[in-house]
Chain A
Amino acid sequence: MIRELTCVACPLGCAITVDYNDTEVLSVTGNTCKRGDAYARTEIVNPTRSLATTVKVNGGVHPVVPVRSNKPIPKKMMFECMKTINSVSVDAPVEIGQVIIQDILGTGADIIAANYD
């Protein structure tokens, strides 16, 4: 089977063609870097995305602080992860890079603070 993808690994947005069957990816073409190859393979098997949102801060300068996943999480778990993130809050002061939720929903990704507050 052939699938046309637009790589989201970086802003270049290469047009990638993937040839695959039920068991494996046969070939990846059109990518200009290794990350593109890796992206295409994951995208066929188990697409993943970075997640960026905010989390509630108690006693901070702002009511919320930006957070992100430190590695991509499965695309299909995006909304479940949002639910989990929305159910927690963090006390100020918040440090950039501080782990807010470790290994969110067993994805292996941590949710970390992306700014100070």
Chain B
Amino acid sequence: MLKNRHIQGWLQASPLTLVLLGFLILPIITIVVVSFWQATEFSIIPAFSFENYEFLFGSPVTYKVFFATFKYAFITWAMTLAIGFTVAYYLAFHIRSQTLQIALFLLCTIPFWTSNIIRMISWIPFLGRNGIANSALQSWGIIDQPLEWLLYSDFSVILAFVHLYTLFMVVPIFNTMTRIDHSLIEAARDNGASGFQTLVHVILPLTKPGIMIGTIFVLTLVMGDFITVRFMSGSQKANVGRLISNDISLLQYPSAAATAVILLITVLIVIGILLRFVDIRKEL
């Protein structure tokens, strides 16, 4: 009987294990292996060489690009957190009717019914030199000359990131907020806490797991992105994703794989540090 249950457990776990093995572990192993290979213009040579890594760590471009990647990730994270937290707070604590809550929550997701790329590209005519933003500002008399930095700049890249990824903050934060026992907030008030004190000492600590999940979403999405940076900066800025995509288009798969491995390790370290702060398993 006991043995039987044992087998049953294994059987139940095996589909997921197999899927993860085939579609996650195996590809990652392949990438790691290829990253030690060498490539000429036309052939990939299986070898064990540190050349790709030597070049990667020896090039100032790498550091610059990794720095830019972190910069995008950090600023995007801060903005999505601020917006996401506010939206979730409003939905969870200011909307009393549950129907309205769900309706408004669904409203937030509507932009996500269209493709990522389209939402991103639609900023381009809006922000352009003769775009809606510039012509509106000019007709209001706020500026004389069109603002050049609106488009093809760090500003436009981060704007697009924030626009694309805020929902990934809203959802988990909203989710944890709705689970907060309202009697805790009442207790805080009864004990004389101001609204701000309640927010900082009660709500914020209790929403930490949601914030953490949202943070992981946003950081990994931004750090792995290349297409937003390419389109919104007019190819003028680079992040790690673009380095990888350039290498791939020039058939330098081993070099791309090496960069990918370093990026993966970096992201894992960042997530590892984040998980030190909150035990997501326990809090969920």
A and B from one complex = no
Residues of B near any A CB (own CB < 8 A): none
